[in-house]
Amino acid sequence: MSRYVVPLVLFVGLAALLWRGLSLDPREIPSVLIDKPAPAFDLEQLHNTTQQITHQTLEGKVWLLNVWASWCVACLQEHPVITKLSEQVDIVGLNYKDERGKAKQWLIEHGNPYLVSAFDHAGDVGIEYGVYGVPETFVVDQRGHIRYKHIGPVSHEDLNQKLIPIIEQLRQVTN
């Protein structure tokens, strides 16, 4: 009888683990960077190769870092939402593993919601931020600490239920 009990117990345990895994939201992956200083970077601007942009560009303000690419289908899906959000908060674009010409053309065709875009051709800054897919969006507070990471395209629901409340709360901290 124990010959049947052990496989049954193993099967039930594996089934429970699988059931738990399937119920998790893949966009809710915790980031080790939450509440820590945003990784330092110093990159060329997408539109102006003689100008640099750093992680300190918006120090003293609440801002977003939106990781995007012209080859990213989901980036196009979230673009209207990011454009709407840019009316309320400064957004720095991090053009990730892209070709400069294609990225600039993409912004011409779809609109440019970014205060400025940094060009991360090799993806090194993306790696520092723990990016493993685009789009990803980070909320950075006035002190330069990451307070929230959104994985995947930002929807109108995400905007209204997560991002805007976090931004408003962070802005009240200094007021």
Domains of the chain, first to last:
29-174 (3.40.30.10)
Taking the model in full, what pTM does it have?
A: 0.82
Quick: pLDDT tens for 115-170: 999 999 999 999 999 998 999 999 999 999 999 999 999 999 999 999 999 999 99
* The pLDDT of residue 175: 54
CA angle 90, 108, 76 (to 5 degrees): 70
Report strand pairing: 52-54 vs 42-44.
Answer: antiparallel
CA angle 136, 140, 144 (to 5 degrees): 135
* The pLDDT of residue 56: 86
Phi-psi label, residue 60: left if phi above 0, alpha if psi -120 to 50, beta otherwise? left
Q: Rounded CA gap, 128 and 120, in Å?
A: 11
Q: Rounded CA gap, 60 and 68, in Å?
A: 24
Check residue 145 and report its DSSP letter. B
Quick: pLDDT tens for 84-130: 999 999 999 999 999 999 999 999 999 999 999 999 999 999 999 99
* The pLDDT of residue 57: 86
* The pLDDT of residue 27: 46
Quick: pLDDT tens for 16-75: 566 655 544 454 555 678 999 999 999 999 999 999 999 888 889 999 999 999 999 999
Q: Rounded CA gap, 110 and 157, in Å?
A: 21
Check residue 47 and report its DSSP letter. S
* The pLDDT of residue 24: 46
- What share of residues in the chain are helix, strand, coil (percent, to 5)? 40, 20, 35
